[in-house]
Amino acid sequence: MQQEGTRGAGPLFAPLTELQKPLRQQVFERVRAAGHVPRVQLAKDLGISPASVTTITSDLIAAGLIEEVQANRDADAGRGRPAVALGVRANAHFVAGMKLSDREQTAVIVDFAGNVIADESIPRQPGPMRTSELLDDLETLLSRVCARAGVPRHTLSGVGIGVPGFVDFSEGLVLWSSVLGDRAVPLAALATSRLGLPATVDNDANLVALAELWFGAGRAISDFAVVTIEHGVGMGFVMNHRLYRGVRNVGMELGHTKVQLDGALCRCGQRGCLEAYVADYALAREAATALNWSHRETQGVTVLLESLFSHAKAGNSTARSIFRRAGRYLAVGLANVVNLFDPALIILSGERMRYDYLYAEETLAELDNLIIPTGRPRPPIEIHAWGDLVWAQGAAALSLGRLCEEILASPREGAAT
C-alpha cells in the first residue's frame, strides 16, 4: 500500500494496444497484407483521410517500397481510366530464412512481398554440432539457396534463423539447443559476422507460429497457438497478432512442462517433460523397449518410426498402445494450453502429425475431459503436417519484420534500386 501523501494510481504505461505503430508503417503493412489495394480502401481500413493516404503512399513509392499496379475491375465498370491499386515492390529487398534441425538444414529466399523465390536443404548427421560446424553449414546452405534463386548473397538484406531449444530472441543468444554441443552461443552475432548479413535468431516453434501469422491460418486470428511435434515438442503463441515470448524471451516451452514427476529422461537433462513422452526419440525409445527392437537402433529414428507406424496400421496392439500413450500425454499438454490461454485456434504442426494416432478420436475425447467444463466448446484444432519449408518461411518472416521496422522508422529511407 502507498503511504499517505503519495500521488498517482493505476498503470504508469499505456497498454500495448494503445502504442500505435507509425502511420507510415501501418500503411505499408496494410498494403503488404492486402497484396493489392486501392488508395480509397486504405483510407477506409485505417480510418484516415484520403489526403493522408496520398501523402504517405507517395513517400513510400518514392522510397521504392511500394508501387502502383493495375487493379482488377468489374467487366461492367465501363470505360475510362484503368483502376489503380498499390502493391509492395517485390524486388526491393530479398531475405533468407533458415531452419536448423536434428535431421537437415533448410533455407528459403523470400522477396519483399513475402513470396518464396527458392528453397534448398542439406542433410546432416544427427547429434549436437560444434558451433563452428553449424556456421559452416549456414554458409554452405546460404550460398546454395542464393544460387538457386539467382540472388547474389551480398544483395540480401538479412537472414532469419530458427533453432530448436531455448533462445533469447532479443539477445540473439542460444542458451541450449539439441543441435549445438555448446551452450549460451551468441549465434546472431556469429552468423552476422560469418555471413556478412544482419542475422536474427529465434526458437523454431515461434517461427512456425510466425509463418502461420504471415502466410497461413493465423492471418485473421488475433490469438492462437501452434504446437509443433517433430524431433521435440515446441509451442509458439500469438497474442493480439504478435508473438508472445515471455519477459526473458524463453517462454512457451510446452515440451518442457512437467507431466510426470521423476518421469522419463528428457534430452534437456530434466525428467518428466512432455517432450520425453511425445517426441520422436520418445516414441523410438518406447518401440525399442516394448517391441524388443534394440537391434534396429542403427537404422535411425526416422526409419524406426516409420516401421512402428506401419505395425500400428497393420493392427499390432503394442505399436498402437505406444501411439495411444503418447496421444494421452499430448492431450494433457493441449488441455493445459486451453486452460491457461483459451486461444481461438490450436494448430498441430510438424512432420510427426502424419501419425494420426497422436490426434485420434480417443485423444481428442481425453482432451475434452481435461478442459475446464465451462459449457462452451473447446477451441478448434487444425492439423498441418508440413515439412521444414514452413519453418524456414517463418524465419524469413522474422527477418522481413525486422527489416521493415528498420526501414519504416526512418522517413524516406528506401530500397535498393
The alpha helices in 47-185, defined as continuous H runs, are: 50-62, 131-149
Query: Do residues 403 and 157 touch, judged by C-beta distance below 8 A?
Result: yes
Residue with cell 497498454: 15
pLDDT digits (tens, 9 = 90+) for 181-208: 999 999 999 999 999 999 999 999 999 9
The model carries a pTM of 0.88
Give the tens place of pLDDT for each residue, 359-391.
788 888 999 999 999 999 999 999 887 666 888
* 273 touches 261 (CB < 8 A): no
pLDDT at 163 over 90: yes
| Homologous superfamily in CATH for domain 92-209+390-408 | ATPase, nucleotide binding domain (3.30.420.40)
Using pLDDT thresholds of 50, 70 and 90, give the confidence band for residue 176: very high
Beta bridge partners of 129: 180
| Domain chopping of the chain, boundaries | 16-88, 92-209+390-408, 219-385
| Three-class secondary structure of residue 374 per DSSP | coil
The upper half-sphere exposure of residue 14, i.e. CA atoms within 13 Å in the direction of its Cβ, equals 5
116-134 residue pLDDT tens: 999 999 988 778 999 999 9
Q: Pairing between strand 94-100 and 199-203? A: unpaired
Quote the CATH superfamily of domain 219-385. ATPase, nucleotide binding domain (3.30.420.40)
Give residue 19's pLDDT band: very low, low, confident or very high (50, 70, 90): low
pLDDT at 358: 72
Grade residue 297 by pLDDT with cuts at 50, 70 and 90.
Answer: low
pLDDT of residue 89: 97
Same fold for the domain at 92-209+390-408 and the one at 219-385? yes
Give the confidence band of 309 by pLDDT, cuts at 50, 70, 90. confident
Rounded to the nearest integer, the mean pLDDT of the chain is: 88
Helix (H, G, I), strand (E, B) or coil at 209: helix
pLDDT-derived band of residue 259, with 50, 70 and 90 as boundaries? very high
User: What pLDDT band is residue 413 in, cutting at 50, 70 and 90?
Assistant: very low
Out of 1.10.10.10, 3.40.50.150, 1.20.140.10, 3.90.1150.10, select the CATH number for domain 16-88: 1.10.10.10
pLDDT at 3 over 80: no
